[in-house]
Amino acid sequence: MIRQILTFTLLFLFLIALQVLVLNNIQLGGYLNPYLYVLFVLLLPFDTPKWLLLIVAFALGFGVDLFSSTMGMHTMAIVFMAFLRLGVLKLIAPRDGYDASQKPGLQDFDFRWFLTYASILTFAHHFLLFFIEVFRFSDFFFTFSKVITSSGFTILLLLVSQLFNYNAQAKR
C-alpha cells in the first residue's frame, strides 16, 4: 500500500514537471498541444473513491495551472475528466466487471480497451480545455481541429508511455 502511494506520488510530480518544463513548450503551428499529465487520472486504480479522485485531479490541475499561468483552465478540465471517468469505466466494462487486482492500463487490459478508455477521456478533457481557452464559438472549427489533433497526439504519447511501461514490467 505504501509502495503504491509512493509510486503515484512520484508519478504525480514527474508528470507535472514533464508537462510544465517540456510539453508546454511544444506547440506545432498552434494545432498540437500535448497534455500527458492526464495519464495520472487514467492510471489511478479502479477502487479509488470518487471524492479522492476529484481531489487528486484538482491538485494535479492546480499544479499545472500554477506553473503555466492558465488561471484554472487545466484544473477545470482535469476535474471534469475525473468526474467522467466512472461513467466511462461503466460504459466500457468487461462482461465480468473489473477485478480489484486489475489496473487500468495495457498490463491488465488489451490495446483496444485502453485506446477506447484513453480516447474518450482525453477528448473530453481537451474539448473543455480548448473551448475554455477560446471562450467563444465563433472559431468553432479551428478550435475543434485543435481538439482533434492535440487529442490524437496526446493519445499517441499515452500509448507510447504505456508500451514502455508494459515492456519494462515484462522484463521483470
**pLDDT score at 171:** 58
Q: Which residues pair with 28 in a beta bridge?
A: 32
**pLDDT score at 96:** 84
Q: Which residues pair with 32 in a beta bridge?
A: 28
* Residue in 88, 82, 77 with CA at minimum distance from that of residue 56: 82
Residue with cell 486489475: 102
Q: Cell triple for residue 17? A: 514537471
How is 60-121 classified by DSSP, letter by letter?
HHHHHHHHHT-TTHHHHHHHHHHHHHHHHHHHT--TT---TT--SSTTTS-HHHHHHHHHHH
Q: Cell triple for residue 114? A: 485502453
Contacts of 136 (CB under 8 A, 6+ apart): none
CB 122 within 8 A of CB 38: yes
pLDDT tens digits in sequence order for the chain, 172 residues long: 789 899 999 999 999 999 999 998 887 777 788 999 999 999 999 989 999 999 999 999 999 999 998 999 999 999 999 999 999 999 999 888 888 778 898 888 989 999 999 999 999 999 999 999 998 888 899 999 999 999 999 999 999 999 987 665 655 5
Residue 138: Cβ-neighbour burial (10 angstroms; 0-12, 13-18, 19+): exposed
The rounded distance, in Å, linking the Cα atoms of 119 and 81 is 11
Q: Break the chain down into helix, strand, coil percent, rounded to 5.
A: 75, 0, 25
**pLDDT score at 64:** 96
